[in-house]
Amino acid sequence: MSRVIGIDLGTTNSCVAILENGQPAVIPNSGGYKTTPSMFAITQDGKRLVGHLAKRQAVTNSKATVHGAKRLIGRRFDSPEVEHSRELCPYDIVEGPNEDARIEIGGKNFTCPEISAFILREMRRVAEEYLGEPVQEAVITVPAYFNDAQRQCTKDAGKIAGLEVLRIINEPTAAAMAYGFNRTGEEKIAIYDLGGGTFDISILEMSDGVIEVLATAGNTFLGGEDFDRRIVSHLVDAFREAEGIDLTQDAMALQRLKDAAEKAKCDLSQRETVEINLPFIASDDEGPRHLSMEVPRETLERLVDDIVRGTLKTVDQCLQDANVGVGDIDQVILVGGQSRMPLVQQAVADHFGKRPHKGVNPDEVVAIGAAIQGEALVSEDDNMLLLDVTPLSLGIATFGGHFAKLIERNTTVPVCKSHIFTTTRDNQSAVKIRVLQGEGDIAQDNDLLGEFVLGGIRPARKGEPEIDVSFDIDANGIVSVAARDTATGKEQSITVNATGTLSDDEIQNIIEEQELYEVALKE
C-alpha cells in the first residue's frame, strides 16, 4: 500500500512529513534540509530549478525566479493582493484569460497552480527518495483564510503534480492536530501562525482526540516579507542619505538588499545587533560604493512594531468570534518562521498573559499535522476527529447590490444550506445568481466566486416562482452550488468556476507538457 504524505505548501518554505510506525516525522531533502524554499526559476539556458537551487541563483536571476506565488494563487489579476505582490516580486505578473494572475518568466507564461505544482512535485520527490517507493496520496495545507478559488487552485496544483489530494486542511488546524496527537484531556488552544506571507490565528477546542475549530481569522497581506521590506526601506533611505544614490532602481542591488535584510532579521532573533555589509552595491562617476551598516535589534523592533500590534487586533477579533476570553485559552502555540522573533513572542505572551507552548517546531508542525490527518483518512481511524470551519461567509448578491449571507463564517464544515429565491419582475424567465464569499455588507466588497443564470422559469407574477438554491461547502472548504425550480422540479447543475481554476483538459495539457519537459531535461 502506498503511503500518504502531508505537505505544508508554504508561501516561503514547504515541508513534507509522514507517519512512520505511528510516529510523525518530517522528511529531509537530499541536502539534509527539513524545509524547501517555495521557489521556482528558469535559468538563462532554459533549465528549470526548484527549491534551494532556485533560491541560490535568485540574486543574479531575479526576473526569472518566482517566490511567493502563493500570494497570487486563485486571485483575480486586478485584486489588491496582486497589486501588493507586484511591489514584492521582480518577476512579471500578467493577466490570464480567466482574469486570473499568471506569472511570466523565461519567456513563458505559467498559471499559479502550475508554479505550485513544481513545488509539490519536488516535495513528492523528496518523499519518494526517502521512502524508496512511489507516493500518490497527499494531504495539503492552506492558510485558514483561503477562499474557495484559492483552495480549488491548490487542489489543481496537486493534480498537476501527480498527487491525489485526499484533503485540503487549514494550516492552523493541522498545527493543532500535531499538538493534540496522543494527548488527552480538554483544552482551548490558540494557534498563532506568522509565516513569510500570511498571518493566521485560530482558536480551537480539543477534548480527547476531537478537535473543534471555534473560530479562525487572518491577514493575507501580512508576513515576514513585510518585515524584510521595512528593513530594505530603512537601508535604502540611509544609503540615499549618505551616498545620494537610489538603490531601488537596480534590480540586482534590490535583490541583494532583500537577502541581506532577511538574513539580518533572522540573526537578530538570536543576537542584539548585526552588521550588514554589501560591497559594490552601487557605483557612479566617482567609483564603486559599499553599504555597511549596523542594525541593532531595537531598530528592527521599532521598524515593525505596528505590524506586530496589527496581528494582535486580528487575535482579538478571532477570540470574539469564538466567544472566548483571552483568559480561557490554555495553550498558545506559535507557528511559522517569523514567530521566532523575540518581539513577536513577547507581544503574544503579554497579550495572552502566558508563555507560548515550547514543545513544537514552528517550521514543521503544519506538515506533521497534515501527515497525521492523511493517515487518519486512509486508516479510517476515528480516534481523531477534525471539525473544521469555513473561514469566510458565503452568500449571494441581492437586489440593490446587497450581500445576503447564507452560511456565516466559522460554521463547521461540511455544511449544506438552501434558500428559496424568487423573481423581481413579472414573467421573468431567468434569474442570475452571483455567489460571493467575504464579510462585507455590500456585494462588491466580497470575492465573486462565480455567477450563473437559471433559465426556463415558467411565466408568473413577480415573487411567485420558487427557486431553491443550495450551497455546499465540503470538508476541503470548497464550494459548490445547485439550483432547482420547485415548480418544474428541474435541477440545474451548476459549477462555480473560481478565478484561476483549471479545467480537466487544461490540467491534462499541463501535465503532458511537464512530462515532455522532463524528457528534454535528461538529454
90 binds, among ligand ADP, Mg ion, none (CB under 5 to 8 A by kind): none
User: At its nearest, how many Å lie between ligand ADP and the CB of residue 171?
Assistant: 7
The residue range among 50-58, 229-237, 238-246, 337-345 that interacts with ligand ADP, by the rule CB under 6 A, is 337-345
DSSP assignment string, 4-52? EEEEEE-SSEEEEEEEETTEEEEPP-TTS-SSEE--EEE-TTS-EEETH
Please say which residue, 340 or 417, places its beta carbon nearer to ligand ADP: 340
Please say which residue, 10 or 180, places its beta carbon nearer to Mg ion: 10
User: At its nearest, how many Å lie between ligand ADP and the CB of residue 35?
Assistant: 6
Q: ∠ at Cα 167 (194, 217), nearest 5°?
A: 30
The residue range among 5-13, 124-132, 401-409, 419-427 that interacts with ligand ADP, by the rule CB under 6 A, is 5-13
CB 405 within 8 A of CB 395: yes
Window 206 to 235, contacts with ligand ADP (CB under 6 A):
223-225
Question: Grid coordinates in use for 378?
Answer: 486512509
Please say which residue, 10 or 391, places its beta carbon nearer to Mg ion: 10
User: At its nearest, how many Å lie between Mg ion and the CB of residue 160?
Assistant: 21
Rounded CA-CA distance 464/319 in Å is 43
Other CB atoms within 10 A of residue 221 CB:
15
Please say which residue, 142 or 443, places its beta carbon nearer to Mg ion: 142
Number of H helices, E strands in the chain: 11, 27
Q: Which amino acid is at 175?
A: A
- Select from 24, 51, 90, 196 the one that contacts ligand ADP (CB under 6 A): 196
Window 238 to 297, contacts with ligand ADP (CB under 6 A):
262, 265-266, 269
Catalytic option among 34, 55, 70, 188: 70
Rounded CA-CA distance 36/148 in Å is 26
For this structure, is 70 an active site residue? yes
Helices (DSSP H) in 244-341: which residue ranges?
251-267, 297-322
341 binds, among Mg ion, ligand ADP, none (CB under 5 to 8 A by kind): ligand ADP
Half-sphere exposure of 438 (CA within 13 A, CB side): 18
Please say which residue, 195 or 465, places its beta carbon nearer to ligand ADP: 195
User: At its nearest, how many Å lie between Mg ion and the CB of residue 109?
Assistant: 27
The residue range among 7-15, 72-80, 281-289, 505-513 that interacts with ligand ADP, by the rule CB under 6 A, is 7-15
For this structure, is 8 an active site residue? yes
User: At its nearest, how many Å lie between ligand ADP and the CB of residue 280?
Assistant: 25
Is residue 341 involved in binding ligand ADP (CB under 6 A)? Answer: yes
Please say which residue, 168 or 467, places its beta carbon nearer to ligand ADP: 168
- In the chain, the N- to C-terminal Cα span, in Å, equals 33
The residue range among 11-19, 90-98, 379-387, 461-469 that interacts with ligand ADP, by the rule CB under 6 A, is 11-19
Please say which residue, 13 or 62, places its beta carbon nearer to ligand ADP: 13
Is residue 12 involved in binding ligand ADP (CB under 6 A)? Answer: yes
Is residue 299 involved in binding ligand ADP (CB under 6 A)? Answer: no
Q: ∠ at Cα 188 (186, 190), nearest 5°?
A: 145
What is the helix, strand, coil percentage profile of the chain, to 5? 35, 35, 35
Rounded CA-CA distance 293/238 in Å is 9
52 binds, among Mg ion, ligand ADP, none (CB under 5 to 8 A by kind): none
User: At its nearest, how many Å lie between ligand ADP and the CB of residue 308?
Assistant: 12
The residue range among 242-250, 335-343, 429-437, 474-482 that interacts with ligand ADP, by the rule CB under 6 A, is 335-343
Question: Grid coordinates in use for 466?
Answer: 420558487
Sign (positive or negative) of CA dihedral 505, 507, 511, 516: positive
Could you say which DSSP state residue 411 is in? -
Rounded CA-CA distance 37/453 in Å is 43
Other CB atoms within 10 A of residue 158 CB:
26
User: At its nearest, how many Å lie between Mg ion and the CB of residue 162?
Assistant: 23
Question: Grid coordinates in use for 96?
Answer: 490570464
Quote the longest CA-to-CA distance of the chain. 83
Best CA proximity match to 163, nearest among 152, 171, 155: 155
Pairing of the two strands 385-387 and 210-219: parallel
**C-alpha distances in angstroms, 213 versus 139, 323, 390, 427, 496?**
18, 12, 10, 46, 26
Is residue 172 involved in binding ligand ADP (CB under 6 A)? Answer: no
- Select from 86, 234, 340, 417 the one that contacts ligand ADP (CB under 6 A): 340
Is residue 115 involved in binding ligand ADP (CB under 6 A)? Answer: no
Rounded CA-CA distance 480/433 in Å is 13
Catalytic option among 171, 226, 228, 363: 171
User: At its nearest, how many Å lie between ligand ADP and the CB of residue 367?
Assistant: 10
User: At its nearest, how many Å lie between Mg ion and the CB of residue 13?
Assistant: 7
Please say which residue, 10 or 158, places its beta carbon nearer to Mg ion: 10
113 binds, among Mg ion, ligand ADP, none (CB under 5 to 8 A by kind): none
- Catalytic positions are 8, 70, 171, 193
Q: Which residues bind ligand ADP (CB under 6 A)?
A: 10-13, 195-197, 223-225, 262, 265-266, 269, 336-338, 340-341, 363
